[in-house]
């Protein structure tokens, strides 16, 4: 569909610019690059998911190959939660009684560190996505202005008319991509919540396999 008047472009351009500005300004006035209705929480607090022994300063899980392999596996979100919980139970079941609590505490420390890194990457990715959308919106605005100029010339200039048709097609494609990406934001914004919930469930599984 061809758009032949400047007024027909204005609503699309305005909608594009509003879409990338409204979420952040409406919800979080400090983190202006944050696109979600949920407030930005870059790091989850350990006390939100863990009531076991302190993991402050606890390191070295990577030195235990078997323990590190379990951490890598269960931290992977592509691994089904039930499968991850079974892996934790199987690991705990092989541990001597004297080693069980220290090893499982170390397991959680490694898992918390790994998942925390993943979560920060997701949060940073969401902000990068919004900045990209702002760039796209500005590009759409510039394209709209260029089309308006071509429309003024197209009636008397065949070259301008041909350029106008190509510019309109490019504009429509850019707008479609922008809108599709914008529609994906609410789903992407659920990722930190999903990560938190999975970590909580895995932490509960670890705790239920500890003696204290």
The residue to which tokens 């009531």 are assigned: 51
Q: What is the mean pLDDT of the chain?
A: 88
Q: What secondary structure does DSSP assign to 98-160, as a single string?
A: HHHHHHHHHHHHHHHHHHHHHHHHHHHHHHHHHHHHHHHHHHHHHHHHHHHHHHHHHTT-HHH
Query: pLDDT value at position 8?
Result: 54
Mean pLDDT for the stretch of residues 12-17: 58
pLDDT tens digits along 46-87: 999 999 999 999 999 999 999 999 999 999 999 999 999 999
Query: pLDDT value at position 25?
Result: 43
In the chain, % of residues over pLDDT 90: 74
Task: Assess whether pLDDT exceeds 80 at residue 4.
Answer: no
- Ordered by start, the domain boundaries in the chain are 6-27+52-208
Task: Assess whether pLDDT exceeds 50 at residue 28.
Answer: yes
């Amino acid at each position: 569909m061809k758009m032949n008047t400047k007024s027909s472009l204005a609503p699309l351009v305005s909608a594009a610019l509003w879409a990338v500005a409204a979420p952040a300004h409406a919800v979080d006035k400090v983190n202006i690059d944050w696109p979600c209705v949920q407030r930005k929480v870059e790091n989850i607090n350990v006390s939100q998911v863990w009531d076991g022994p302190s993991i402050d300063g606890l390191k070295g899980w990577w030195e235990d190959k078997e323990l590190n392999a379990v951490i890598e596996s269960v931290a992977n979100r592509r691994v089904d939660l039930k499968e991850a919980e079974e892996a934790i139970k199987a690991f705990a079941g092989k541990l001597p009684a004297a080693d069980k609590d220290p090893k499982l505490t170390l397991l959680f420390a490694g898992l918390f560190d790994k998942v925390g890194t993943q979560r920060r990457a997701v949060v940073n990715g969401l902000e990068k996505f919004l900045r990209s959308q702002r760039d796209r919106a500005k590009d759409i605005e510039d394209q709209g202005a260029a089309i308006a100029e071509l429309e003024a010339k197209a009636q008397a200039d065949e070259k301008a008319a041909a350029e106008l048709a190509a510019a309109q097609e490019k504009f429509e494609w850019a707008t479609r991509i922008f809108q599709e990406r914008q529609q994906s934001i609410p789903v992407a914004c659920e990722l930190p919540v999903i990560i938190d919930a999975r970590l909580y469930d895995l932490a509960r599984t670890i705790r239920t396999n500890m003696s204290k």
